């Protein structure tokens, strides 16, 4: 296998649904980040662009984005939909194609606009078609379940199965915002964030987050439930891309990489308990390379629900200072197709901040799929 390196990456600010990017076409949002990434690192002879997108208009929107960005029409681009894990899946595919010797330079990541998510309607021949209420927003992820709240239900099931307490959940709501606000104050992420369309902040970070506000939140699904609007990520718009390359590319172009991709993993779990897949994917990955959790200097888990944080803390209580060092999706948000690229960029920054060696990012996806990636800082 060939070694695979990360040259660098960029992300947009993360906007709320109908927020700072509400009027920006998703393909243009992604295209601006792509164009600036190509320009910043003077990337030519790109072999492929692999792009995650979960709720866009379809029709290989990655190709449309690439053309909007002004990248040569000779560069192929294609869209990957693994829902929340789409961005990580793209990095995973890029790793495989470069390590196998098929490619030397790939840009991978994703973009999302929930503000412009198109309404969908099942065909009238489909048994799922509902004449009285034909529009649906959430695809079917499991043969045994369909509806708009399937991910919330999955998180609630995890809470019940593992007897997760409100106190455990509340800690991570406050901690995520605390860490994100401190990172913003210190501008530790400023060099990987590109301001677009006069956007200059991550819209989801709530300065007023406090225990009193948390206590006022009502359960989203059931009267006795514990999943609320504060321990669940918001709905967002954003884009993030990473440039990955071979050792040959580095030598020929005299590029200095910032990290090396060591290995990746994918795992399937019961889709009714999908949030557990992030931890399961990380377990599989770390075991595959014969490392231990203690040997990992930084972790970035996509914080779609605070239950994901609690599961990490229960297994590795002594490592929580290495976990989501700059806050997670409870603060920043979760623009589905872009989140894999976002957490990879944050992971690299976290490793750099502590001069660490190994870092792991992991993400849980609808349908019960977990994705994880191990990198080594250079």
Spatial CB neighbours of 195, under 8 Å, sequence gap ≥ 6: 13
Average pLDDT over residues 211-233: 93
Interatomic CA distance for residues 312 and 276, integer angstroms = 10
Model pLDDT for residues 35-52, shown as the tens digit of each residue:
999 999 999 899 999 999
Rg (CA), the chain: 20
Q: Give the other-Cβ count within 10 Å of 143's Cβ.
A: 7
Here the CATH number for the domain that contains residue 98 is: 3.40.47.10
Q: What is the pLDDT of residue 347?
A: 98
Angle at alpha carbon of residue 349, lines to 279 and 321, rounded to 5°: 50
pLDDT of residue 198: 75
Q: Quote the pLDDT of residue 24.
A: 96
pLDDT at residue 147 above 90? no
- The set of residues, in sequence order, having a beta carbon less than 8 Å from that of 103 and lying 6+ positions away, is 47, 48, 94, 97, 246
Q: Is residue 215 part of a domain?
A: no
Asked if the structure places residue 290 within a domain, the reply is no
Q: Alpha carbon of 368 to those of 54, 155, 159, 279: distances in Å?
A: 15, 12, 16, 12
pLDDT digits (tens, 9 = 90+) for 75-127: 999 999 999 999 999 999 999 999 999 999 999 999 999 999 999 999 999 99
Q: Compute CA distances 341 → 90, 151, 289, 302, whole Å.
A: 9, 21, 22, 11
How many structural domains does the chain have? 1
Cα 53 from Cα 67, distance rounded (Å): 16
Residue 19 falls within a domain, yes or no?
yes
Name 228's Cβ contacts closer than 8 Å, sequence gap at least 6. 214, 217, 218, 219, 220
In a domain, 173, yes or no: no
pLDDT tens digits for range 303-319: 999 999 999 999 999 99
Domain residue limits at 67: 4-116+235-253
Scanning the chain, the segments in alpha helix (DSSP H) are 26-40, 61-68, 86-99, 150-161, 166-186, 211-216, 247-253, 277-288, 306-315, 329-332, 339-354
Lowest mean pLDDT among 78-87, 196-205, 359-368: 196-205
pLDDT tens for residues 247-271? 999 999 999 999 999 999 999 999 9
Name 54's Cβ contacts closer than 8 Å, sequence gap at least 6. 81, 83, 84, 86, 112, 336, 337
- Report the alpha-carbon distance of residue 261 to residue 373 in Å, rounded: 7
Per-residue confidence band for 218, with pLDDT thresholds at 50, 70 and 90: very high
Q: pTM higher than 0.95, yes or no? A: yes
Reply yes or no on whether the pLDDT at 223 is more than 90.
no
pLDDT of residue 197 exceeding 80, the answer is: no
Does residue 147 lie within any of the structural domains? no
pLDDT at site 256 = 96
Q: Decide if 169 is inside a domain.
A: no
Residue 304 inside a domain? The answer is no
162 assigned to some structural domain: no
Mean pLDDT of the chain: 96
How high is the pLDDT of residue 200?
Answer: 85
Give mean pLDDT, residues 240-245.
Answer: 98
Judge whether residue 246 has pLDDT over 90.
yes
């Amino acid at each position: 296998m060939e070694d695979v390196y990360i040259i660098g990456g960029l992300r947009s600010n993360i906007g709320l649904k109908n927020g700072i990017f509400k009027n920006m076409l998703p393909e243009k949002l992604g295209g601006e980040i792509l164009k600036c990434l190509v320009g910043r690192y003077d990337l030519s002879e790109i072999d492929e662009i692999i792009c995650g997108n979960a709720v866009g208009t379809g029709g290989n929107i990655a190709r449309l984005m690439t053309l909007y960005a002004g990248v040569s029409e000779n560069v192929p681009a294609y869209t990957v939909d693994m829902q929340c894990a789409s961005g990580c899946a793209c990095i995973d595919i890029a790793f495989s194609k470069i390590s196998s010797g098929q490619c030397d330079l790939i840009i991978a990541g994703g973009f999302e606009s929930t503000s412009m998510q198109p309404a969908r309607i099942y065909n009238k021949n489909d048994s799922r078609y509902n004449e009285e209420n034909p529009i649906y927003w959430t695809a079917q992820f499991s043969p045994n379940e369909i509806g708009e709240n399937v991910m919330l239900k999955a998180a609630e099931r995890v809470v019940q199965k593992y007897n997760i307490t409100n106190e455990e959940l509340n800690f991570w709501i406050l901690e995520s915002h605390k860490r994100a606000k401190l990172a913003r104050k210190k501008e530790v992420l400023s060099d990987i964030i590109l301001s677009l369309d006069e956007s200059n902040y991550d819209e989801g970070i709530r300065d007023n987050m406090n225990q009193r506000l948390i206590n006022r939140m009502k359960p989203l699904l059931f009267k006795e439930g514990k999943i609320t609007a504060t321990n669940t990520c918001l709905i967002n718009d954003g884009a993030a891309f990473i440039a990955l390359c071979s050792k040959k590319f580095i030598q020929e172009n005299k590029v200095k990489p910032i990290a090396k991709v060591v290995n990746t993993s994918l795992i399937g779990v019961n889709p009714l308990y999908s949030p557990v897949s992030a931890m399961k994917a990380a377990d599989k990955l770390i075991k595959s390379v014969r490392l231990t959790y203690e040997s990992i200097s930084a972790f970035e888990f996509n914080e779609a629900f605070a239950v994901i944080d609690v599961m990490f803390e229960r297994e590795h209580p002594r490592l929580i200072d290495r976990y989501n060092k700059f806050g997670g999706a409870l603060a920043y948000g979760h623009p589905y197709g872009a989140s894999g690229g976002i957490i990879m960029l944050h992971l690299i920054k976290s490793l750099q901040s502590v001069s660490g060696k190994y870092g792991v990012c992991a993400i849980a996806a609808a349908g019960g799929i977990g994705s994880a990636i191990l990198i080594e800082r250079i």
